[in-house]
Amino acid sequence: MSSVPGHAAKGGRTRTAPRSETEILDAAYDLLMSRGLEATTVEAIANRAGVSKATIYKWWPNRAAVIMTAFLRRSADVLPYPENLRPGQVEDRLLKMAAAFRGDTGTAIAALIAEGQSNPEIARAFREGYINKRREEGVAIVRAAITAGDIRPADPDVVLDLLYAPLYFRLLVGHLPLSDEAVREHVGLVMRGLGP
């Protein structure tokens, strides 16, 4: 968000745009993780951040946008891509992702996907802000692996689906636990299939 002139907050303190933005995003993320998607309203975010609802709407068009901005800001750290597509790197990152999916991050992602079934704003924000943005990075990593000869030539989107879809499936369907053992077996099978 571009700079917005500072304004006096409660107690006469001058608040600057970057600080307010950080406080709003931290508040939105904390609420999402601790109280869930339904409780993460613009009013609740404003109260926790110590800003007005008007301040939030000045920077984000709706509740979905601020929630997804907050989630995306943290998800790159919580759910990082591997640096390359060598089996050890892939296994390490997918094990970290599985661990995150077993906690608050997984609960939040499942809630966002579920809410997206009936809320087009949430669905669009999740798809554009989280899935599509992350896939751009993932596609670049897959293409680099193909160029380096680490994996056979293949559609990068299909490769990403092969690697990540099983984790989302177990998270959302819950038919079997998202265990480290399952992730290791999954990575081994996929990487052998993708081998040059």
Q: Are 86 and 164 contained in the same domain?
A: yes
Q: Does pLDDT of 5 surpass 80?
A: no
Q: Does pLDDT of 9 surpass 60?
A: no
- Domain interval for residue 187: 79-194
Q: Name the range with the highest mean pLDDT among 56-70, 76-90, 148-162.
A: 148-162
Would you say residue 18 lies in a domain? yes
Would you say residue 74 lies in a domain? no
Q: Are 57 and 112 contained in the same domain?
A: no
pLDDT the model gives residue 15: 44
> How many domains does the chain divide into?
2
pLDDT in tens, 153-196: 999 999 999 999 999 999 999 999 999 999 999 999 999 999 98
Q: What is the mean pLDDT of residues 37-48?
A: 95
What are the structure tokens assigned to 121, written together? 């704003």
Q: Are 54 and 107 contained in the same domain?
A: no
Would you say residue 71 lies in a domain? no
Q: Domain of 185: which CATH number?
A: 1.10.357.10
Would you say residue 29 lies in a domain? yes
> Distance between alpha carbon 77 and the CA centroid of its chain, in Å?
9
Residue 14 sits at φ, ψ, to 5 deg, of -90, 130
Q: Domain of 56: which CATH number?
A: 1.10.10.60
